[in-house]
């Protein structure tokens, strides 16, 4: 242990560094310029996290201000630590290990926001924003202020504009299951399918379940429908079928 310490001390040239190495302290840690630089980076990462968090909260998403600020600031701190390790003479190491660890850790965190609700998947955009917040934070940690500002502006603009274009040109569809129960098994399935399709709903699969003892017929339609589909109007239309006993929708 003493030999290793003496070897580390010999690598240091200035008297100030020699004295500080005895207490395992790096001199630039207490430098005013270094502290100011770190403070600016952390403050900038807070702003990035807040802006991305506001965007998520405007869409009523679970991932919000606190989560994204914590991710951004923590990534900035780890990036600063990575640079600090690269300049540390006593404990040399590979600074890229920290960046790789952050990337893999954020992947697990982002995966936790992806939720499957029935046949639909939610949270992909939030997971991508978590990853982006971490990337912006790490870039700030190494002083890429201009690049971070440009990427942040592009992200916020695209998140707003692309959403409107998606609604216009690629209307979001939801996968639903329509359940219809009839008191009589003598029905015209073709007419029922026609009534469903007239509401702008695309039928992808159908399952028929018949209870012969009770003369009950159950139809289950797996459908794709736009978010703005009026299920109430469809229900009123199907209600005109006299043998329809129950109608329900699950997602």
Identify whether the C-beta of residue 210 lies closer than 8 Å to the C-beta of residue 218.
Answer: yes
Q: What's the pLDDT score for residue 172?
A: 61
d(CA 129, CA 125): 6
Cα–Cα distance measured from residue 160 to residue 54, given in angstroms and rounded to the nearest whole number: 12
Q: What is the pLDDT of residue 138?
A: 92
**Residue 2 has what pLDDT?**
42
C-alpha of 205 from chain center: 31
Cα-flanking dihedrals φ and ψ of residue 171, to 5°? -55, 130
Roughly what angle, to the nearest 10 degrees, separates helices 124-141 and 96-111? 160
pLDDT of residue 7: 46
- Token output for 30: 């207490």
Averaged pLDDT in 10-residue chunks for the chain of 251 residues: 43 44 50 85 93 85 84 92 75 74 83 70 84 92 92 90 73 77 79 80 84 80 75 79 83 72
pLDDT at 218: 87
Which pLDDT score is estimated for 147? 93
Within 10 angstroms of residue 213's Cβ, the number of other Cβ atoms is 5
In order of 17, 18, 65, 213, the CA distances from 10 in angstroms are 10, 8, 48, 94
Is residue 63 a contact partner of residue 126, using CB atoms and an 8 Å limit?
yes
Confidence at residue 10, expressed as pLDDT on a 0 to 100 scale = 45
Domain spans in the chain, listed from the N-terminal domain onward: 31-169, 174-250
Q: Please give the class, per CATH, of domain 174-250.
A: alpha beta
């Amino acid at each position: 242990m003493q030999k290793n310490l003496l070897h580390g001390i010999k690598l240091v040239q200035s008297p100030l560094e020699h004295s500080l190495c005895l207490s395992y302290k790096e001199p630039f840690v207490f430098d005013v310029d270094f502290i100011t630089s770190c403070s600016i980076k952390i403050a900038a990462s807070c702003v990035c996290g807040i802006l991305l968090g506001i965007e998520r909260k405007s869409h009523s998403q679970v991932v919000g201000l606190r989560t994204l600020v914590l991710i951004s600031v923590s990534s900035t701190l780890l990036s600063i630590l990575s640079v600090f390790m690269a300049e540390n003479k006593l404990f040399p190491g590979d600074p890229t290990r920290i960046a790789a660890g952050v990337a893999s850790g954020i992947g697990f965190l982002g995966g936790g926001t992806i939720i499957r609700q029935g046949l639909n998947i939610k949270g992909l955009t939030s997971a991508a924003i978590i990853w982006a917040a971490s990337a912006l934070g790490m870039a700030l940690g190494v002083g890429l202020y201009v690049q971070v500002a440009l990427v942040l502006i592009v992200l916020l603009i695209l998140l707003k504009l692309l959403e409107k274009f998606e609604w216009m040109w690629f209307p979001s569809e939801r996968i639903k299951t329509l359940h219809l129960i009839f008191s009589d098994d003598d029905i015209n399935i073709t007419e029922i399918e026609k009534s469903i399709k007239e509401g702008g709903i695309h039928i992808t699969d159908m399952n028929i379940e018949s209870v012969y003892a009770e003369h009950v017929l159950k139809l289950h339609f797996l459908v794709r429908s736009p978010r703005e589909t009026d299920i109430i109007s469809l229900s009123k239309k199907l209600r005109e079928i006299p043998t329809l006993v129950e109608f329900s929708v699950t997602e």
